[in-house]
Amino acid sequence: MFNLSEESNPTEIAKEVAKKYTAKGYKLDFTLESLEFEIDKIINNPITYKEEKDIDLLIAELTVYVGETFCILFNADCPGQYFEGGTRKGANFYTYFIEKNGERFHPSHFFEYKLPIKDFTKNQFKEYLHYSHATIGGKRKVLPGVLHKFLKDES
C-alpha cells in the first residue's frame, strides 16, 4: 500500500516544525500549553491556509508535532511509522501512532477529519484533547478526551 522505505524520523521533523512555527510567532515548545492553545491558533488563523498551499503538508506537520509532544510529556512510545510532508497522502492516518500502556493515539486523525477549518471561532483541538462526544442509547454524552488515556497513569 505505501512505500515504507521513505519513512522519516518524527523527532527530527517535529523539531523542524516547531522552529518553522516559532518563527511565525507561535510558541511550539513541546508543552501541554502549546497543544491546548497554539495548535488552535494555527488552525484558526485563515492566513495558515493561504500560506500553506498544501493542506497535506500542514496535516503532516501538526501530526508530528502533536505526536512528539505526547511522547515527551507522557513518556510514550512511537512505534508507528511517520511520513514527512504529506509525501504519502493519508499514510500517517494509518501508520503513525503513539502508544503507552496499551493505549494508542493517532495524532493524524483529528487533522485529517478537521482541516481545513471552516469555523475559526472555536478551540477545536483543545476540546478534542479534553472531551469526546458520543451518542449512547440515543443520548448525546460528553466523555473524557484523548488526554485522559495518557493522564490517568500519571501521578
Q: Between these two residues, 53 and 33, which has the higher pLDDT value?
A: 33
Which distant-in-sequence residues (6+ apart) come within 8 Å of 85 by Cβ?
56, 57, 60, 61
C-alpha 43: how far from chain center: 11
Q: How far apart are CA 24 and CA 153, in angstroms?
A: 35
Q: How far apart are CA 70 and CA 150, in angstroms?
A: 9
Q: How far apart are CA 52 and CA 61, in angstroms?
A: 11
Confidence of residue 25 (pLDDT cuts 50, 70, 90): very high
Please write the tens of the pLDDT for every residue from 55-114.
888 999 999 999 999 999 999 998 988 988 766 777 888 899 999 888 889 999 999 988
- As a whole number, the mean pLDDT across the chain is 85
> Would you state the pLDDT for residue 50?
80
Confidence of residue 154 (pLDDT cuts 50, 70, 90): low
Confidence of residue 5 (pLDDT cuts 50, 70, 90): low
> Would you state the pLDDT for residue 153?
57
Q: What percent of the chain has pLDDT over 70?
A: 90
Q: Between these two residues, 112 and 141, which has the higher pLDDT value?
A: 112
Which distant-in-sequence residues (6+ apart) come within 8 Å of 4 by Cβ?
81
Confidence of residue 2 (pLDDT cuts 50, 70, 90): very low
Q: Between these two residues, 113 and 38, which has the higher pLDDT value?
A: 38
**Nearest in space to 21 (alpha carbons), one of 5, 37, 3, 2:** 37
> Would you state the pLDDT for residue 133?
72
> Would you state the pLDDT for residue 34?
97
> Would you state the pLDDT for residue 52?
67
